[in-house]
Structure 1
Amino acid sequence: MRAILDVILVVLNLYVWVLIISAVFSWLYAFNVINGSNQVVATIGNALHQLTDPVLSRVRRYVPSFGTVDISPIVVILGIFLIQRIIAYYIYPNVM
């Protein structure tokens, strides 16, 4: 059972990194640092969008809008940190 919890913790940690990379990618795209018409860049952007949009769109329904600033990735990352701490402090020690 601890192996399953370890896998869940690793997947949550990887998803945090995907969210961070997606946010940085969107900033680079918005400020024209990277070329959006490049096929590789478009593929990476599409993959990041498909990985993050299902979760972020649900959070955006409940988080108030701050104009052009989207804080939904921060809310999701904080939620993931909360889930990781609950697993690490309450569930993991009680599982044999």
Structure 2
Amino acid sequence: MTSIYQILMLLLDILWFFIIAHVVMSWLINFQVLNLRQPLVAQIWTGINRLLEPIYAPIRRVLPNMGGLDLAPLVVLIGVAIARIVLQNNAAAFF
């Protein structure tokens, strides 16, 4: 059972990393530090979008339209943090 706990925590850490990378890349693209015409940047951006869009889409349907501000990554980060807290507080069930 310890393995399941560690795998779940690892998956949450990986998801956290991808969300942070997505947010930072979106800022860099919007401030024209990164250019989507570069093949490597475009591939990474497309890959991260394809990975995270199934997670963001249901949240975007529920959240009100905020103009150009996308709060879906923030909601997912809060959800990941809550899941980590719940897993850590109930870690005794895995041991």
Q: TM-score, normalised by structure 2?
A: 0.93
Report whether the alignment pairs 1:80 with 2:84: no
| Counterparts of 1:47 and 1:68, CA distance in 2 | 22
> Do residues 67 (structure 1) and 61 (structure 2) align?
no
Partner of residue 44, structure 1: 44
C-alpha distance in 1, partners of 2:93/2:39? 49
RMSD of the alignment, in Å? 1.0
Instruction: Tell me the TM-score normalized by structure 1.
Output: 0.92
Which amino acid is the alignment partner of residue 76 of structure 1? V
Alpha-carbon deviations, 1:56-82, whole Å to 9, x = none? 111111112211111110000101111
Aligned residue for 1:24?
Answer: 24
How many residue pairs get matched? 95
AA of the residue aligned to 1:93: A
List alignment gaps of at least 5 residues for structure 2. Answer: none
Measure, in 1, the Cα distance between the counterparts of 2:88 and 2:55. Answer: 23
Q: Which runs of 5+ in 1 are unaligned?
A: none
Q: Which amino acid is 1:95 matched to? A: F
CA contact (8 A) 2:28 2:34 kept: yes
Any idea what the Cα deviations from partners look like across 1:36-56, whole Å, max 9, x if unmatched?
111111101011101111101
Alignment partners' CA distance in 2, 1:43 and 1:70: 22
- Asked if residue 14 in structure 1 is aligned to residue 50 in structure 2, the reply is no
Which runs of 4 or more aligned residues in structure 1 lie more than 3 Å from their structure 2 counterparts after TM superposition?
A: none
Write the distance in 1 (CA, Å) between the matches of 2:52 and 2:93: 32
- Distance of 2:13 and 2:59 partners within structure 1: 19
1: distance between equivalents of 2:85 and 2:50? 27
- Residue 89 (structure 1) shift: 0.3
Shift, 1:29, TM fit: 1.1
